[in-house]
Amino acid sequence: MGPAIRFAPSPTGLLHRGHAFSALSAYQRAKDLGGRFVLRIEDIDQTRCRPAYTEALLDDLAWLGLSWEQPVRIQSQHMADYHAALGQLRDLGLVYRCFKTRKAVADDIGRAPHGLGLAYRGAPLAAAEETARIEAGEPYAWRLSLDAAKDYLGEPYDSLTFTDEVQGTVAAQPHLAGDVVLARKDLGVAYHLAVVVDDGLQEITHIVRGEDLFEATGIQRLLQALLGLPTPIYRHHPLLMGPDGKRLAKRDLAQTLQDLRRQGLSAEQLRAELGF
């Protein structure tokens, strides 16, 4: 189907300049390649995502002058796809149930020998203990086992790479992420699994996103290999910073596009300010 580039925001707040820069970067790359621009709403975190934010971001992106393929893929409407992928990994013995709380995991990382980094590595429980905990109704998360993944892939595990349009061929290094959570009771499936499945189903060929997600590419590259999915070409752009030198973020109440619009800033002015 030719080149396809996606922009995939999460509706956990209103868009700001940083989101506009990322969306315009992806949109411009799609135009340069003569490809499709795909919008996806990543709303699997139903504890934080709100329909009102989805409507607002669609309005903001249209105001910016962007247009995209229809229909828009909304992750919360496609949970069966992600559970099928999780089932595939489970059948291959590549995931395990982890009953530890976030605090327990953090404590384990803190006790790890010096030099092992900040990534969690665990192991399945003995069958009897696992069964007892399940029967007791204890919550758990499904984690990807890097040890099992390495055994499954064999030698190719250590030579996994991806292409970054700026850095060239990059070693994936999934160990930097550790045994990531792929699903948990409160969120259903988690980001890494959902994004990899969606990119495959939507035939995404190029991904343009912030450099804060560069490290995440390694574990996503591993999941692509385990699920038999193609690997897109990546470009990780610098993040926009605020006057305080910190990256713009929703949690820090960065000035939103809605604010800028109310203040009279035009889409053309914003695009020019951001270099488009």
Give 115's pLDDT tier (boundaries 50, 70, 90): very low
Give the DSSP H or E segment for 18.
helix 17-33
For residue 178, count CB atoms less than 10 angstroms from its CB and return exposed for 0-12, middle for 13-18, buried for 19 or more.
buried
CA pair distance 245, 271, nearest whole angstrom: 21
CA pair distance 111, 107, nearest whole angstrom: 6
Q: Are 212 and 187 in contact (CB under 8 A)?
A: no
CA pair distance 141, 180, nearest whole angstrom: 10
Amino acid identity at 69: E
Can you name the residues that pair with 168 across neighbouring β-strands?
A: 164
CA distances from 147 to 96, 175, 197, 273 (A): 11, 10, 22, 47
Q: Of the given ranges (112-121, 197-206, 209-218, 221-230), which has the lowest mean pLDDT?
A: 112-121
Give 111's pLDDT tier (boundaries 50, 70, 90): confident
Query: Over the chain, what is the mean pLDDT?
Result: 92
* pLDDT tens digits, one per residue of 164-212: 999 999 999 999 999 999 998 767 899 999 999 999 999 999 999 999 9
For residue 196, count CB atoms less than 10 angstroms from its CB and return exposed for 0-12, middle for 13-18, buried for 19 or more.
buried
Which pLDDT score, from 0 to 100, does residue 250 have? Answer: 56
Q: In the structure encoding, which two tokens stand for residue 217, read together?
A: 């590419």
Which pLDDT score, from 0 to 100, does residue 76 have? Answer: 95
Give 243's pLDDT tier (boundaries 50, 70, 90): low
Omega cis (within 30) before 113: no
- Helix or strand or coil: residue 149? helix
Which structural domains are found in the chain, ordered by start?
1-77+241-276 (3.40.50.620), 79-198+213-228 (3.40.50.620)
Sheet with 141-144: strands ordered across = 95-98, 141-144, 181-184, 188-189
pTM: 0.92
Of residues 112 and 181, which shows the higher confidence score? 181
